[in-house]
Amino acid sequence: MKLGARIFKTGIAIVLSLYLAQLLHSPSPVFAAIAAIFAIQPTIYRSFLTIIEQIQGNLIGAIMAVVFVLLLGNHFIVIGLAAIIVITVNLKLKLGNTIGLALVTLISIMEAPGDNFLTFAGIRFSTIMIGVFSAFIVNLVFMPPKYENKLYHKIVDTTGEIIKWIRLSTRQDFDHQLLKTDIGKLKNDIKEMEQFYSLYKEERDYLKTHHLDKSRKLVVFRQMTITAKRALDTLKRLHRFENEMLMLSEEFRSALQEQVDNLIYFHEQLMLRFIGKVPTPPSNQEEKVTINKEELFHFFLLHQKEIDEENNPQLYHTMQIVASIIDYSEQVEHLDVLITSFHYYHNNEISIEEQDD
């Protein structure tokens, strides 16, 4: 198991919050540590948003705690009622992410009110805010992970796995159950890819030139993600309708296999071209050929004439396979345009690092 940057940052934030709480003579430094755990974030931008939201959410929790204790006391039923109201208010104000820590603030204030209750409430609220600010400081000091690298390598790994299965599927050379299991895993990989894209998008660049460079990279990465999704859709169709593939004529099946091979080869070349391992434009212009849509459609029409039965499901299933391949091809062609344009404006500006083993 790898220890990520967020794990280390959480540990450091806990240490810093406990140290600051003790330095300020807080009677309950543990609440600062709990707040630090809630407030740690993967990016500086998210940390900035979190600290604003946590201040609002914790203020709601503290105010509700004070009001309920002064009016109704601190019976456990009263605490539960106050918690319900805090959750409702936070949801109404779209502060759902702060509910957990707001409830910690509420309970910590309502647990043991004394003669100087307002002072006690202020100390508990301040202690929790120490933890929130500690997490923010840690996010500022410690550099966040390079999500550009993580995103690119996730796209490459996921795309490579999909392409491998497509190549095997067109040859009917695969284990049905194993592919079914891997399709579920690939769906999760696509979701993780989208999460990395969101994190990379949230990273802030303060130089105008870097901002423009990143904006174009975001467009390329978004198209890479869309293309990977279309490739996965094609794989799912090939897997679902494998029997229909076997019932195609030998000529149609061979043509389909050849064109899909060209398509996935071109897709692989594009991923390498983005990081400069393949020249832009490619030295061999014939490599830019993806599929021949007219030929593919011609074979489909011939296949239609060969089927005598009306409303034959085989025809509709074959149509889905062909349509999915064509859609995948169009996304690959669009990716080609974007990568070519990117290299035209940003030659040799790719900073992707090799992934650690």
Convert the pLDDT of each residue in 207-228 to its tens digit: 555 667 788 889 999 999 999 9
Q: Is the pLDDT of residue 357 over 50?
A: no
pLDDT of the residue at 280: 67
Strands (E), the chain: none
pLDDT at res. 205:
60
Instruction: Kindly state the percentage of the chain with pLDDT values over 70.
Output: 84
* Among 154, 148, 140, 152, CA closest to 43: 140
Tell me the C-alpha distance between 98 and 206, whole Å. 28
What integer best gives the mean pLDDT of the chain? Answer: 82
Return the structure tokens found at 339.
């990568």
pLDDT at 289: 55
Q: What is the pLDDT of residues 135-159, one digit of tens each?
A: 888 887 776 667 888 899 999 999 9
Place of tokens 């794990």: 7
Sign of CA dihedral 186, 188, 192, 194: positive
- Domains defined for the chain, CATH in brackets: 5-141 (no CATH), 147-345 (1.20.58)
Residue 342: how many other CB atoms lie within 10 Å:
20
Residue of 230, 225, 200, 223 lying closest to 338 (CA atoms): 223
Query: Predicted confidence band at 1 (pLDDT cuts at 50, 70, 90)?
Result: very low
- Joined together, the tokens standing for residue 212 give 């423009």
Higher pLDDT pick, 66 / 282: 66
Structure-block tokens of residue 31: 């609440």
- 80-89, 183-192, 200-209: range with lowest mean pLDDT: 200-209
pLDDT tens, position by position, 223-276: 999 999 999 999 999 888 888 777 777 887 888 888 888 899 999 989 888 887
The model carries a pTM of 0.71
